[in-house]
Amino acid sequence: MKRWKRALLTGLAACAAMMVTASASSFDSTADSLKAMGLFAGTNNGYELDRAPTRAEAATMLVRLLGKTEEAEALWASDPSGFAFRDMESFDWAKPYVHWLAKNDLAAGTSATQFSPSAPCTAQMYAAFLMRTLGYYEVNGDFAFADALTFARSHDVINDVNCDTSKFLRDHVVATSYTALAARPKSGESDLLTKLVGDGAISASAAAAEQQKFAAYRGYAAVMQAVNGVTLENVTSLSVSGGLSLEIAAVSETRISGERLSSESTLTMTVPGSDPFVLERSGYYADGRFYTAENGVKTWKKATLDQVLKELAQPGAVPLVLLDRVEADGSVYALTYSAAGKQRYLADLQVLESALGGSVLGFRDLTIGELAAEVRTEGGRLASLSSGVTVTGKMSHLTTGGEAAVTISAMQNSKVTATGSAVQISAPGDLVAYQQKG
């Protein structure tokens, strides 16, 4: 009995916290947005986001992303001379776009005379394409092709949500392309989309809605990336009703200053007919080590600060492609998750279940309601964050082992209670008593 209580208490509280950090999505709505701006057309069979892109398709997508389709086709019609690639006879539809990219040093062949149009386009290749689109070139020493993915990550074009580097699909082409539109180009415009409008590649009216979203997102992301030198108080409430009934309350306080952190949390689960089950946990991070004490058991492990913040489910910027709307109203940002964002949340529940052994929670047939969050700021810094979600479905009945149809309702509220020198972080006095974990 105690085992499942501990697993459920830790697991479901983390599920509730994922509402503000939710990071296999299907980016159909993102494809719709690109198509509305004339930057994506799909294929004769629709978007086909679930398969790998070919190099010919990636080249065509890149030209569309730049709003240069007509220019490329006109160049090909007037002057196809100098087209060096001899392996594209079965890819006449892609020749104008490959030709234009080669002429503008945005794409190269696999050799002097081969483009390999039917070969799969890898995440590394497409990352290099996108960074060139943003004005960065290997020949200028901006980056090396071998480091294209790392370079794209450093410019917020590639992340763990919009790109699966081991299984790169057209889905990820769409998601990374959309993210690149919101990134700042080397030439200094606020984002690539604004540059394309200024160049006349995209009409101002077609881009207006996305430009407004991108501007609001930049403000929101800047606030969330600056969550340091603060004390955060987090309160999570979660209730399960239906064939299984329980209540969970989680209260935590986390202090972050530079590369150091400390935290304390108390999670309480109440099941009708049983005494409350309480899990108390404290943590301390410094010098690449994360020390935790859970109900008296003291361990430490090697970690980065980002890994610790993720483990503690501290607020962070939600990736752009998971949000349908981002609206700024003075000091308040309102976020509404997209279908991909909801799908990601449900996928995180399944990942969590696997981490717990795959047999404790038994999630099945999950359906999620609206997923939204509100971020309030003060003086350009995070002041508070609130979010809520309802999930319906089935899970294992934790006492009988049978199936229970349930509704899970979760709310989380976070607020900054101290900043600057008022944030005090102290190391436990008995660090030598902590045992290395794993």
3-state DSSP assignment of residue 140: helix
Q: Can you give the length of the chain in residues?
A: 438
The per-residue pLDDT for 24 is 46
pLDDT at 345 over 70: yes
Mean pLDDT of 223-239: 91
Mean pLDDT of 320-339: 96
More confident call, 44 vs 172: 172
Mean pLDDT of 383-404: 85
Tell me the two tokens of residue 73. 């086709």
Tell me the two tokens of residue 149. 């993915």
Nearest to 434 by CA among 328, 314, 237, 291: 291
The per-residue pLDDT for 354 is 56
The per-residue pLDDT for 23 is 43
Q: Which residues lie below 8 Å from residue 200, measured CB to CB, with a gap of 6+? A: none
CA distance 412 to 395: 22
CA atoms in the 13 A half-sphere facing the CB of 287: 4
When pLDDT is cut at 50, 70 and 90, the band that residue 314 belongs to is confident
Average confidence score pLDDT of the chain? 88
3-state DSSP assignment of residue 375: strand
The per-residue pLDDT for 349 is 67
